[in-house]
Each structure stands twice: as C-alpha cells, then as structure tokens.
Chains A and B, each alone.
Chain A
Amino acid sequence: MNGKQLLLKALKERKVRFLFGYTGGAIMPVFDEMERMGAFEFVMARHEQGAAFMAQGLSRASLSTPTPQIGVCLTTSGPGAMNLVTGVADAHMDSVPMLAITGQVATGVIATDAFQESDVVGVMMPICKQTYMPLAAEDVEKTVHEACYVATTGRGGPVIIDLPKDIQNQQAGEDYRFDAKKFRPHLPGYFYTPTPEREPIRQAIELINKSERPLIFCGHGVINSNAGDLLQRFIEKTNIPVASTFHGLSAIPADHPQHLGMMGMHGTVEANRAIMEADLLIALGMRFDDRVTGKLDEYARNAAVIHVEIDASEIDKNVRTTVAINADVYRTLHVLLGDPMLTCIPRRRWWDKLNSFREVMKEDLREEIEVGIGNDNKLLMKGIIHRLSEVTRGRDLIIPDVGQHQMMCARFYNYQTNNSWFGSGGAGTMGCSLPMAIGVKLARPKERVWSISGDGGFQMNFQELGTIMEKQIDVKIIILNNGYLGMVRQWQTFFFDGCFAGTPMQSPDFGLISQAYGIPYRKVELLEDVVPALEEAIACKGAMVLEFICDPAEVILPMIPAGGGFGDMIIRHPHAPKKDQSKQGEAA
C-alpha cells in the first residue's frame, strides 16, 4: 500500500465518515484515492476556513452522541493550509478535537519556496495541540492514529498532519505491518490524569461542607466530559447554585431553579454578583478567561477556589486555587457524588440574596422582550431569540456567530438539550456560525439546527451557502441585520462617545443571495411576523434564510467593561449615543 491508501485506511479505522475540505495540487493523490475508495462522504467547503469550522461542528456536536466522531479537514498546501489557520486557532482556543490533513510539496523541494509551499508545521505549531509531518509511507498510518489519540484525549485540541505529495504516493516496504488494535502511541511526555486523587477530593468536600455561600461554575469541561446529568444531580444533592461559562451553557437546563445563567462580561447580574459575594467557587472544567474574571485583583476576593481541570497548566494560571483537582470533570463529580461525607445545607440566607440579585434586571428585560421593538419600530434581537426559544421550546441546536447577537443567544435562549450550544468563545471568530452549523447538522441529523449570525459575521463565510445548497443541508439560518457591527457599536456607544468608526455596514440583498443558492428566504420587519416566520422556517423542508431587521441601538446588558471589575458592572444604558455619523448605515 502507498501513503495515501494508508492515510485513508487509518481514518476509516478511526470511524471517520465525513471529510471536509478543498482539493488542490499537493493533495490530489489523496482525493483521487478517496474518490476511488468511496468510503467517505466528502463535503466540499467553499473556503478552507469553512472546512475547519465544519469539522469543529461535527466534533463538538457528536461528542454527546453514542458515536463521537472527530472532524477531519483535508486541504492542499500553501494557501489551502493557510486558510485553515483561523479555524485551527479557534479550535485550539476552545479545546475542540479536530484533525487537519494538509498536502505539502514533495520532500525534494521542501524549503525551496516551491509553488504553493508554506511552512505549515511552523505556522501551526503555536496554535494547535500537535503537528506531524510523516516522511515515509510507513509512518503515515501510525501518525494518523497517534494524531487522533492526541486530539481526543485529555484537553482536546486540533492536530495537524502535513503530508508531502511524494509520501502520499510512496509505497510502503513489503514487510510493512501495522495493527491498529495493538498500537499504543509512544508519548512519554504526554500525560493526562482523568481520575482525581483522594486527598484533594477530601479537602474539596471539607470546603464545600463548611462553606456558607458556595457557587459552582459549569465550564466547557462539563460538556466535553458529558457530565451535564451528573452536574445536575450534584447541584440538586448539595443545593448549591450554578453559573455557566460561555461554553458551559446547555450542560444543564437553562431554567433550572439553581441556574444563575452565564457569568462574565455579559453575564447575568445574579451570576456576577454571586461571584463577588461567594465564599467558595467550585470551578468545573474552565480556565478563568479574562472575559469571565474581569480585573483579576478584584476577582472573587473572599472566595476559596476548588478548581477541577484536566489541563494542569490552567490551574493557578489566572486565579489562585485553594484545592486543585487535576482530573476529568465527569470522574470528579462521580467520586464527589459517591462520597457520603458530602452534605446538603439549605443555605437559606445565601439563596435569599441570590434571589434578590435575580430581581435587579428582571423587570427591565421582561419589558424589553415583551415590547420587542426599539427605535423606529425596529426589532430587538433579545425579543427574537426569546420567541425562537419559545417556539422551539428550547430544544434545538443553536450555533451563534460572534458579536452582540451571540450574547443575546447565550442569554435569552432557554437551553433544554444537553450540548446544544456551539459558538466560538476564546478566539471569537466572526463567520464561524454558518460552516459550524453544517458540521453540527451532519453530526445530529435528526435535530433542528439554527445558525444565527449578524449581518457582519454572515458575510464573512456566507460562501458556505454553496455547501448547504449542494449537500441539501437542513440548517435554519437567521440573520439579525442591524446595519452595524453591533458589539463594537455598543462599545463605541459606551466608551468612545458614540463615534461609530468602521461599524456601519451596507449589506447586499440577502433575499437575492438566498435565491441565487436556491434557498427560501423571508425578511421580517414587524414584531407580529416574527413567530410566523420562525414557524415557516421550521415547517420548511431544508434550509431557509430568515432576515430580521433589528434596532442598531439595542445593547446587551449588563456589561462589565474590559479590564474592569465586577463592581464596574453596567446595568442601565449610561447615555444615548451622542452623535450618529452614519445615517446611511441605518438606512441600509
């Protein structure tokens, strides 16, 4: 067998079904072999970045199914590989297992600036979990298995295999043998410790039992270790409130009475105030990102911290821990739940306080959502997301893009399904939604998938409508069009004196674009049309685009200014924009 056959054989053995990618000179042999084998479903992205996000979507959505799959993208060398960079960096930030296979120029011309050559290993090294460049056909199979192992174990992450064209065609020696079942990667420097140690567990239980104002953080690790159900049992058993990180959303039902919602920069008042007042934080699978903590010196000053995290390098990175549990969240919760020392305390005073925090913005938000319209009778995003949540009963899969609408989706959709929320968190990559939704739909074909973007983010990757058209992928697409880059506009409103630099945006006719791709489209401008339009999209067989014309002046509150502490939380709109330099943008 030759390199390309060994590559595809190994992928098959790893139960890979879908390959997302784009062909080109240096990967043609692999594509040729793939076509002849007929063993994979190839999904052609319209840009390699799209392929990377599709792979991410597949990995993330399938991990809670009985058959988790690793998202694999396949691209050519040079520009093909470089176009993957953003998607790979995004997966790295969000700990998403993914395999990117890039063709490379032949070994004889590597480092001669050959046509479509770029130093993929050099570029990818700091933004992925591991890179490989097999230099013999005999190494290919082993590399794929090792790459998948590294990508999917411990804290997940993207892995790159840069495969020179001559190795793709090279014959393995006659005595070459490889047994995937017996293969164990030789990685003496790769450790992860899924099972918690006894001593920190004992200390953690002691802290939990004696705490008066404990608070649990539900991070991405809860989703990644499929520990949502366990976490729900744990909070119910201990009567401790829980706040979610951006990536922790959907691990437990959003309306669970003990759930305080999302924490951090655009988190709920109750979650953030609870952090300020807590005497114990139990952080499960999270990394205390700056969007979560705000100013570190002011962060949770009165609290002891129990940090459960599979990646040892995250412990004590931003926040000093009292008890560190370097382990998998699922196993840790399992051990904690089984320990009879763990007690349940009513903590009435703490709950009274939390309930009073819940009241702070409740009325304002309820009113805004009910009214549903802002300036010039334009729609409010929060109202639309709330109605979407009601129409779908919170059960659908939501893939937001990045920006203001993303925070609206995080806050106002009532997540009921485990692992139903897939966004770009750490990297904050605009344009991720549409391609990621394609991957999510392929992983969970029976569930309804909503790609929700702003007008800005949608235009960053809307070429992937081509993939949706070609593969007839049933993704419901929502564009919340406010004629601006909304999140930046909000910052400009609050912190830049309302000077809207580079945020007004003229968009094309999304109706004509949808028509060009043969996808049904509806534009919604009136509140009373919102629900019927959503219902129409649900009833529609296959993809549909809904464009909502939104009020650009809408803001997402509360907000903690970047670098500020929780005490700086903005709860009410401080001032209306002083000047609006771009009537043109609003008219668009």
Chain B
Amino acid sequence: MKRRAILAFTLDHPGVLNKISMLIRKKMYNVDTLTVCRARIPGVSRMTITLRESDQARVDQVVRQLEKFTEVISVKELDTDHSYWREVAIIKLEIDASVLETFQGRYNFEILEQKSDDIHILQVAGSTRRIDAFLDEVGQEHIVEIARTGVTAMEK
C-alpha cells in the first residue's frame, strides 16, 4: 500500500477536524498520521494527513470530497518526490552516553536532558524513514518511551 500525504488548508473552526476525520473514516481508511498547525494567514489551519492507498482514483476521490467541505479552502495530494515529509520524535533512552555519541555525526538529534548516567531524553527530526532507522540502530531494548508528531509536509 502506497503511503499518501494530503495537505489541506482549512478554516480554523471547531468541528473541522471532526468533519475531515469522519470523511476519512467513511472512506474506510485508518489515518496513519495527522498534524494540524496554524497557517501563515490568520484564521486558517494547515493540516497534513497521511494514509495508505494504492489506487490513485480513490485518493483523488478523498481529495475531491475534502475539497467539497465549505471549511476546506484548498487541498491536494503531495507527491513524495516533490515535497518534504518530516516529523519530530522525542525519545527517552536508557543508553550509555558513550554509545549515544557514536550516533551523533550520522543522525541529527539534540539531547534535551540527561537525567542520569544512562537516561537521556532526546529529540530527533527528519523523515519517517530516518527516524525509524535511528530507532532500529539504537535498538528497541534501549527505548523507554517515545513520542512522535506525525508527518508534516511541504512542497519543494
């Protein structure tokens, strides 16, 4: 199943998120990630939804039906090659500081706090794949807790 990102600009009104998520449920998708933030224009929200679908026609349908909502100002599918998809993860790790240092050059992370010799809270930003790779390399056994924002995206 191909991963899709849909970018929508909507009015910043109560119920809009509800309406959008309800449509996606009605179309029988499980939302992979959904991020909402304020757009540059006051009163407008920016929403990035990712879901999995191989059939292009079905994705176009979702886009068209989202477009139909009076609160949705514009919406489009972002294609992977022509847009940046990024997320942020906050990770609590139980790991030796020396081991952590070995990742430093290769992954873009910031240590937010070192709670003890081996408990670190750090922040990693990057593509979903990059964060997954970091987590794999660190090893699941070292991860105490993890919080990820989900994807936000922008066209090139």
Q: List residues of chain A with CB under 8 Å of any chain B CB.
A: 121-122, 125-126, 129-131, 150, 187-191, 311-313, 315-317
Contacts and interface: CB of A to CB of B under 8 A. Distances in A.
Contact of B11 (A122, A126, A188): A188
A316 B11 contact: no
Given A126-B26, A312-B64, A313-B61, A189 B19 contact: no
8 contacts: A122-B18, A126-B23, A131-B15, A150-B70, A187-B70, A311-B68, A312-B64, A313-B65
Given A125-B15, A125-B22, A126-B22, A189 B60 contact: no
A313 B26 contact: no
A125 B61 contact: no
A300 B131 CA distance: 49
A256 to B, nearest CB: 34
Please tell me the size bucket of the interface on B. Answer: 20 to 34
B10 interface: yes
Contacts of B64: 312-313, 315-317
Contact of B67 (A126, A187, A188, A313): A313
A316 B69 contact: no
B72 A189 contact: yes
Contacts of B18: 122, 125
Contacts of A189: 10-11, 69-74
A121 B71 CA distance: 15
B57 interface: yes
A131 B18 CA distance: 12
A122 B22 CA distance: 10
A131 B69 CA distance: 11
A190 B61 contact: no
Contacts of A315: 64
Interface of B: 10-11, 15, 18-19, 22-23, 26, 57, 60-61, 64-65, 67-74
Contacts of B73: 188-189
Contact of B61 (A126, A131, A317): A317
B147 to A, nearest CB: 28
Contacts of B10: 189
Contacts of A130: 70
A315 B64 CA distance: 9
Contacts of B57: 316
Contacts of A317: 61, 64
B140 to A, nearest CB: 39
Contacts of B26: 126
A106 B60 CA distance: 41
A191 B71 CA distance: 11
Given A188-B11, A189-B69, A191-B67, 11 more contacts: A121-B15, A125-B15, A189-B71, A312-B64, A312-B68, A313-B61, A313-B65, A313-B68, A315-B64, A316-B57, A316-B61
B70 A190 contact: yes
A152 B68 CA distance: 15
